[in-house]
């Protein structure tokens, strides 16, 4: 078994190994933050284990705006340090750590007032560009460009003539958030970390002095519980931060406010434009983001106090996003144009004590690390772009100042799996296409998802040509990608592939339903599913799809949540 394969056998082996041998660091939470912590710890030479009760990135980290950015919003809040930090991380990701995943994207900031607004906005974006270029490790993105009203119409013909008197164009980054998280976990594994998804921390283990020294971990696929011992436990549980702290019966720790953000997806042909758009709203900002075959539009920012596992978009959410997008569009979008949605929860660190809640739109995205109980360290807050800094800070806190100084973080220099040979292979994409008989656009798409690991996939196709065929009903994916999701990327259930290894759940109007039986067949060949299990997996996915569709018809959040909660869960007997 290759060292960098996440799969069912590896998962079972790692669960046994972490129970048999104490580790230095146990990370609870397999989102972007936990994955970054695991990589940081492992590359310092610390024995590391990481677990998540769900699939990798199933929570917040697969439901973001999928941007790697400094955050103009935080610049407007005069949070220069956070913006500078994020822009440095954007530069590292785009040019060194994950260039196969993080891509430049141009945005346009429309101007609605003549005279004063252009110099005001230009100064802000100019500061953004300056912060990005200071200390950049490689050639950074282009600086701002000014557009007249005619330039706006040429760049984004879908915009109404009276929606802007001009615009300022600037650059940021775009990323497949779930795949970035997955590559972090796999890279941590490459450096020795043990990793298991669908593994929940049920209780924390304490020694005679009361110090946390591990956790009782339940394998949700079997119900078996094992004791995992660790010198320190780091919780990176996001919106589940307080429930994990409660396992330690701690009276201290972080308080986290969950804020729901939804996004909608519309077909690429529905909007005529060649750039992204950023708009100010009364609550947050609205992005119109171009992807290959569709546009992503969002987001919202509303406090959330319901089931943390299954946030869902309501009709009111969708209509809010449409209303703000339509404020600038020549041909307004309707609910019928929406082919997919997703809803995610931002974990915002809440200042003050209980009962002194701060509105989510006013809370900073800076992260916090505390020792919630002896031996249990908690990190929360932050943003996807700064995951690496969060990982460094969490490990530094957990091992102490002296050890951190003697054994500092090196992740600034650790390229993720797939990154090392990506640029050279992109230059060879035409020759790779000729050699394999694939279209060049297909080869380049693979390279921009798998980086230099694409060569392994092309070798697999050479041995099994049928795996080079498109998936019926989801022709943008090859069968080899589905197989790899189960052999190398830790997918255990059909939903894992439909929602995170691919994005069929939101990028096609049918949610990938037509392709689901074939995808279940390919996964089943790897995972040993019989016909009954393949049918069950398809049925579970369709249950989830129907529940999300039903919730989308409701304006009331409570009604929508009741419709969605628990639908399609493969492990209902182990959840809780």
- Domain of 504: which CATH number? 1.10.8.870
Packing angle between helix 429-436 and helix 440-450, nearest 10 degrees?
120
Which residues, other chains included, contact 36 with Cβ-Cβ below 8 Å and sequence gap of 6+?
Answer: 184, 387, 388, 390, 391, 411
- Indicate the number of domains in the chain: 3
Q: What is the mean pLDDT of residues 279-303?
A: 92
pLDDT at residue number 362? 45
CB 148 within 8 A of CB 317: no
Assess whether 365 and 386 both reside in one domain.
yes
pLDDT at 568: 94
Residue partners of 424: CB distance under 8 A and separation at least 6: none
Report the relative pairing of strands 194-196 and 48-51 from DSSP bridges.
parallel
Domain final position from 330, 352, 374? 352
Q: How far is CA 173 from the centre of its chain?
A: 14
Beta-bridge partner residues of 28: 51, 235
Of 64-73, 135-144, 198-207, 283-292, the range with the highest mean pLDDT is: 198-207
Q: Which domain holds residue 452?
A: 420-562
Closest C-alpha among 419, 364, 418 to residue 92: 419
Tell me whether residue 214 is in a domain.
yes
Instruction: Give the model's pLDDT for residue 168.
Output: 96
Q: Are residues 347 and 363 in the same domain?
A: no
pLDDT over 70 at 158, yes or no: yes
54 neighbors 194 (Cβ within 8 angstroms):
no
437 and 546 both lie in a single domain:
yes
Tokens for 426, please give them.
């992109």
Residue 279 maps to a domain: yes
Q: What are the tens digits of pLDDT across the range 24-63? A: 999 999 999 999 999 999 999 999 999 999 999 999 999 9
The predicted model gives 144-172 an average pLDDT of 96
Q: In terms of DSSP H, where are the helices of 31-176?
A: 32-43, 72-76, 80-92, 117-133, 149-155
Kindly state whether residues 243 and 358 are assigned to the same domain: yes
For residue 139, pLDDT beyond 70: no
Q: Same domain for 243 and 294?
A: no
Condensed to tens digits (0 to 9), the pLDDT of residues 451-469 reads: 999 999 999 999 999 999 9
Note whether 187 and 229 are same-domain residues. yes
Examine residue 340 and state whether it is found in any structural domain, yes or no: yes
Reported as a pLDDT band with limits 50, 70 and 90, residue 130 is confident
Tokens 């164009």 belong to: 169
205 is a domain residue: yes
Answer yes or no: is 334 within a domain.
yes
Mean pLDDT, to the nearest integer, of 292-309? 94
CATH code (residue 35) = 3.50.50.60
Domain boundary among 364, 382, 411: 411
Q: Are residues 400 and 434 in the same domain?
A: no
Residue 70 has what pLDDT? 87
Residue 418: CB atoms within 10 A of its CB come to 25
Q: Do residues 397 and 454 share a domain?
A: no
Flag whether 507 is in a domain: yes
* 240, 270: one domain: no
The overall average pLDDT reported for the chain is 93
Give me the CATH number covering residue 316: 3.30.9.10
Whether the predicted pLDDT of 361 surpasses 80 = no
CB of 523 closer than 8 Å to CB of 563: no
Give a yes or no: residue 568 inside a domain: no
- Report whether pLDDT(355) > 50: no
Q: Are residues 399 and 427 in the same domain?
A: no
CA distances from 509 to 336, 369, 560 (A): 10, 41, 20
Residue 388 pLDDT more than 50?
yes
Mean pLDDT computed over 479-485: 98
In this structure, what are the phi and psi dihedrals at residue 149, rounded to the nearest 5 degrees?
-60, -40
CB of 385 closer than 8 Å to CB of 68:
yes
Same domain, 244 and 193: yes
208 in a structural domain: yes
| Last-in-domain residue among 411, 445, 480 | 411
Q: Are residues 389 and 431 in the same domain?
A: no
pLDDT confidence tier of residue 574, bands split at 50, 70 and 90: low
Per-residue pLDDT at 72 exceeds 90: no
Q: Which range, of 245-254, 260-269, 534-543, averages the lowest pLDDT? A: 245-254
The pTM assigned to this predicted structure is 0.96
Query: Band of the pLDDT at 137, cuts 50, 70, 90?
Result: low
> What is the pLDDT, as a whole number, of residue 131?
81
């Amino acid at each position: 078994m290759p060292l960098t394969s996440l799969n069912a056998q590896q998962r079972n082996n790692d669960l046994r190994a972490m129970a048999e041998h104490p580790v230095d660091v146990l990370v609870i939470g397999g989102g972007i933050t936990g994955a970054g912590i695991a990589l940081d710890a492992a590359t310092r030479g610390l024995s590391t284990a990481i677990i998540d009760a769900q699939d990798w990135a199933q929570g917040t980290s697969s439901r973001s705006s999928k941007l790697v950015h400094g955050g103009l919003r935080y610049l407007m809040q005069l949070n220069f340090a956070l913006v500078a930090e994020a822009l440095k991380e954007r530069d590292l990701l785009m040019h060194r750590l994950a260039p196969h995943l993080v891509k430049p994207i141009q945005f346009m900031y429309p101007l609605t007032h003549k005279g004063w607004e252009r110099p005001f906005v230009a100064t802000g974006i100019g500061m953004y560009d300056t912060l990005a270029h200071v200390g950049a490790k490689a050639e950074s993105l282009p600086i701002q460009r000014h557009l007249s009203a005619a330039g706006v119409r040429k760049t984004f013909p879908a915009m109404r003539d009276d929606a802007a008197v001009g615009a300022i164009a600037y650059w940021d980054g775009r990323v497949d958030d779930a795949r970035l998280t997955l590559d972090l976990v796999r890279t941590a594994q490459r450096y020795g970390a043990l990793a298991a998804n669908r593994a929940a921390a049920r209780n924390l283990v304490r020694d005679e002095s009361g110090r946390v020294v591990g956790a009782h971990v339940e394998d949700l696929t079997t119900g078996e519980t094992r004791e995992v011992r660790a010198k320190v436990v780091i919780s990176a549980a996001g919106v589940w931060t307080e429930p994990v702290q409660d396992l330690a019966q701690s009276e201290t720790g972080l308080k986290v406010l969950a804020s729901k953000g939804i996004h909608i997806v519309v077909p690429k042909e529905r909007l005529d434009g060649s750039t992204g758009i950023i708009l100010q709203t009364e609550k947050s900002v609205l992005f119109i983001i171009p992807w290959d075959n569709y546009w992503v539009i969002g987001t919202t920012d509303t406090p959330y106090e319901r089931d943390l596992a299954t946030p869902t978009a309501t009709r009111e959410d969708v209509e809010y996003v449409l209303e703000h997008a339509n404020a600038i569009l020549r041909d307004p979008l309707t609910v019928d144009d929406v082919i997919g949605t997703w809803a995610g929860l931002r974990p915002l660190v809440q200042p003050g004590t209980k009962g002194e809640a701060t509105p989510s739109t006013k809370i900073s995205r800076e992260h916090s690390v505390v020792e919630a109980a002896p031996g249990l360290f908690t990190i929360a807050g932050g943003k996807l772009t700064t995951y690496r800094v969060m990982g460094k800070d969490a490990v530094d806190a957990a091992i102490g100042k002296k050890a951190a100084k003697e054994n500092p973080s090196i992740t600034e220099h650790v390229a993720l799996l797939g990154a090392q040979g990506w640029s050279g292979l992109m230059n060879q994409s035409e020759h790779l296409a000729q050699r394999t008989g694939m279209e060049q656009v297909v080869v380049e798409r693979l390279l921009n998802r798998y980086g230099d690991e694409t060569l392994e996939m092309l070798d697999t196709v050479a041995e099994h040509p049928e795996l080079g065929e498109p998936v019926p009903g989801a022709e943008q994916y090859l069968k080899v990608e589905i197989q790899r999701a189960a052999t190398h990327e830790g997918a255990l259930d059909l939903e894992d592939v439909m929602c995170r290894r691919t994005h069929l759940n939101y990028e096609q109007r049918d949610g990938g339903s037509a392709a689901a039986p074939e995808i279940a067949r390919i996964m089943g060949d790897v995972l040993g599913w019989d016909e009954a299990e393949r049918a069950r997996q398809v049925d579970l996915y369709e249950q989830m799809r129907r529940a999300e569709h039903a919730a989308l018809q409701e304006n009331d959040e409570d009604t929508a949540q009741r419709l969605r909660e628990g639908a399609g869960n493969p492990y209902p007997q182990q959840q809780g």
